[in-house]
Structure 1
């Protein structure tokens, strides 16, 4: 859900930037460069956010699999070795 909102926000921002670029190219050539820079910064931030979301999902998957393996080993009367400090 959060990823979908982020993608929708990026798409609307991208559309708005393209629309602004066509208007501003006629008025101010530097405005297009500023808009392009803003788009690049937003894309970099969205890539970082997407990476964090994917890492969190992968971490949850590993935790779920670890718990499943523990349950299966417990049913066989075995367990993981855990060093306690």
Structure 2
């Protein structure tokens, strides 16, 4: 064999070795990921139950706060409409009856 052919074969062999190492690393990573997945699946039911409980509490609080915000907005709308009606009646020379105690 010629020297050029030998260097070409050596380079090919080195490339094959690098590819083999890369495939081995990929297989090890895949095995590790699969192991982590099964490990997390074994622990996951309890974590899921805790997360669901937390989510339910957060949704209940969010619903409560949304209700409070909507009530405040509705109250503000009623106040603005009342003021608008009072001004319209005042322009016509009329007024709301207000009982004073």
TM-score normalized with structure 2 length: 0.58
Native 8 Å contact 1:24 1:31 kept in 2: no
Alignment pair present for 1:84 and 2:100: yes
The structure with more radius of gyration: 2
Q: Please give the per-residue CA displacement for 1:43-78, whole angstroms capped at 9, x wherever unaligned.
A: 000000000000000000000000000000000000
1:77 is paired with a residue of what secondary structure?
A: coil
Q: CA deviation at 1:31?
A: 1.5
TM-score normalized with structure 1 length: 0.68
> What is the aligned-residue RMSD (CA, Å)?
1.6
Alignment pair present for 1:50 and 2:66: yes
Match of 1:37 in 2: 53
> Which structure 2 residue ranges, 5 or more long, are not aligned?
1-38
Q: CA deviation at 1:36?
A: 0.4
> Which structure 1 residue ranges, 5 or more long, are not aligned?
1-22
CA distance in 2, matches of 1:53, 1:71: 27
